[in-house]
Amino acid sequence: MKSSVKCCVLILAATIVAVVLRLPQTARRPMHGDEAVHADKFADLLEGRGYRYDPYEYHGPTLNYFTLVPAWLGSVETYAEMTEFTVRVVPIFFGVVLVVLVILLLDGLGRGACVCAAVLTAISPAMVFYSRYYIQEILLVCFTFGAIAFGYRFTQRKNAVWAILTGGCLGLMHATKETCIVAFGAMLAALWITLFMRQREGRGGFADDIRRVKPLYFVAMIAAGAVVSILFYSSFSKNPAGILDSVRTYGTYFDRAGNNQIHEHPWHYYIKMLLYWRYGKGPVWSEAIIVVLALVGIVAVLLRKSLPAVNIDLLRFIVFYTLGMVVLYSGIRYKTPWCMLGFLHGMILLAGVGAVVLVRLAPNVLPRLIVLCALLEFSGHLLWQAYAANYKYEADSRNPYVYAHPTPEVFEIVRRVEEYRRGPAGDPDIAVDVVCPGDDYWPLPWYFRASSNVRWANNLDDVTVLAPLILASPSVEADLTDKFYDERIPFEQRQMYLYLFEKPYYLWLRPQVELMGFVRKDLWEAHEAGRLPDPNELIKKASDK
């Protein structure tokens, strides 16, 4: 009993570390385009326009509905009042819950393994980074682990409460992201293999296992999952068509998984990222210790060697589930780095087992001390990477978890526009035109969410009269020039525009994606006339004299 209490205390300490790594400076990293799109979608729900599931984009509804909680707690009622904390605290919360849930497996995974798994979940650079990302992935991982943990408790206690909790998590998985089908497939395969191995060992066949469970419990589990999924997809009965759409969507996502060249990567993309990653002269990134310890755990489980008091069926299930997830996600050509979180968490659970096995294999005190020191050193490197990934290289392409991410120059773009929009009279209503083909201006709508006079366009045909401030893709610069010097407008009525940004006259929205800025000459003159002199410029002029 005392040992269990100590383990719970250590897991609680790991949970505190998880909070400390995830919670600070939520606005430090620029909003990813996907985050901004999800926030824009949530604004409809927040401001009373409701939520309607789209089977072609945006994924499932749980992220939107769970974001209502911090919005209500923070008295946020409009899109303009939202902050990065309002939205990013949702994945942060579920990233922390992921650490706590391991307590449910103390008697199945082993106490030491659970503590190690909690620590690795808390400090894994990928887990920390994407727990601060306003996307669905960490929610999906959390609900998946919830289904596994509650399902395990159900096998041990066999009561309706655990059955309903398991079903509820399965329903939440389905209501979170379409890729839940990958986890479902891996779960079913792992369960079948585990039961088959039980039968081969003479510990009961499939029929025996099924007969030991009351049919009512299965009904409760399935009903709970169905009710949860239906409630979310139907927008709590306001959009019944969403239920059918949640099934129709798989046609879109199966096609996207095999026919999307933008995010197509080789089969070893995820493994390479975890084992070793270095870009240019940037730092070395590696979560290889988790992969190696997971392999040790897998071998120990399959051979049943050097294991502490554990539930072998649970460990086998996790082994085959994780291997299945690795194979399935590696085989899918469509790859984004956050998709690896599902099997990475499985690896972390097995790494906890592997760490305990290594310690147990050491013959005496000195080798055990060496193993513990090595584990501590590798954990320190993971901790440093978690800090660096989120607070030093948070939007740097040398960070492997930064993917198609806006550069910090987004902040400068917004600052320059707002500087002119305020003007000497503090007028916030000066119009801005943003012209980018293919709607390639995200996440700018997030940063201009408090502005009602920003017009978004794909081309200049959608713009009749140019605004005093313009942000545009270089691909439309020639069309803009024609617009500036339109011969149909009398010469004396034409407006002259100046570059908004200094040479080279553009800033980077994302790597390889430039954005140019223009300001009308009369606005520039008014701004310059009302601008206070820079103290540094005065000092420089005085020193020159």
437-452 pLDDT, tens digit each: 988 999 999 999 988 8
- pTM for this structure? 0.91
Per the CB < 8 A criterion, the answer to whether 390 and 23 are in contact is no
Contact present, 460 and 435 (Cβ < 8 Å):
yes
Q: pLDDT value at position 544?
A: 54
Q: Return the percent helix, strand and coil in the chain, to nearest 5.
A: 65, 5, 30
The enclosing H or E element of 432 equals strand 432-435
Among residues 184, 121, 113, the alpha carbon closest in space to that of 148 is found at 184
Q: Give me the pLDDT at residue 362, please.
A: 86
Average pLDDT over residues 202-212: 64
What is the distance between the alpha carbons of residues 84 and 67, in angstroms, rounded to a whole number?
12
Predicted local distance difference test score (pLDDT) of residue 538: 39
Backbone φ and ψ for 60, nearest 5 degrees, come out as -80, 175
Q: How far is CA 527 from CA 118, 425, 494, in A?
A: 55, 9, 20
How does the average pLDDT of the chain come out, rounded? 90
Range 303-312, long-range pairs (CB < 8 A, 24+ positions): 305/357, 306/357, 306/360, 306/361, 307/110, 307/353, 307/357, 308/110, 308/111, 308/112, 308/113, 308/356, 308/360, 309/107, 309/110, 310/108, 310/109, 310/110, 310/113, 310/353, 311/107, 311/108, 311/109, 311/152
- Beta bridge pairs of residue 433: 455, 470
The secondary element (H helix, E strand) that includes residue 282 is none
User: Which of residues 254 and 66 earns the better pLDDT score?
Assistant: 66
- pLDDT greater than 70 at residue 491: no
Q: Residue 506: what are its φ and ψ, rounded to 5°? A: -145, 160
Q: Residue 445, SS3?
A: helix
Measured CA to CA in angstroms, residue 144 lies from 189, 329, 522 at distances of: 15, 16, 58
pLDDT in tens, 275-303: 999 988 889 999 999 999 999 999 999 99
CA distance 11 to 161: 24
Give the tens place of pLDDT for each residue, 81-119: 999 999 999 999 999 999 999 999 999 999 999 999 999
The helix (H) or strand (E) run that includes residue 327 is helix 312-331
Domain boundaries, the chain: 2-391, 409-536+540-544
Sign of CA dihedral 21, 99, 315, 341: negative
Q: Which two tokens stand for residue 152?
A: 């395990």
Per the CB < 8 A criterion, the answer to whether 214 and 159 are in contact is no
Query: Would you state the pLDDT for residue 541?
Result: 47
Higher pLDDT, 278 or 262: 278
Pick from 334, 354, 150: nearest CA to 252: 334
Ramachandran assignment for 14, one of left (phi > 0), alpha (psi -120 to 50 degrees), beta (any other): alpha
Cα 231 to Cα 226: distance, rounded to the nearest angstrom:
8
Beta strand 454-457 pairing with 432-435 = parallel
Evaluate whether 29 touches 390 at the Cβ level (below 8 Å).
Answer: yes
Please determine, for residue 534, whether its predicted confidence score (pLDDT) is greater than 60. Answer: no
Give the number of other CB atoms < 10 A from CB of residue 424: 12
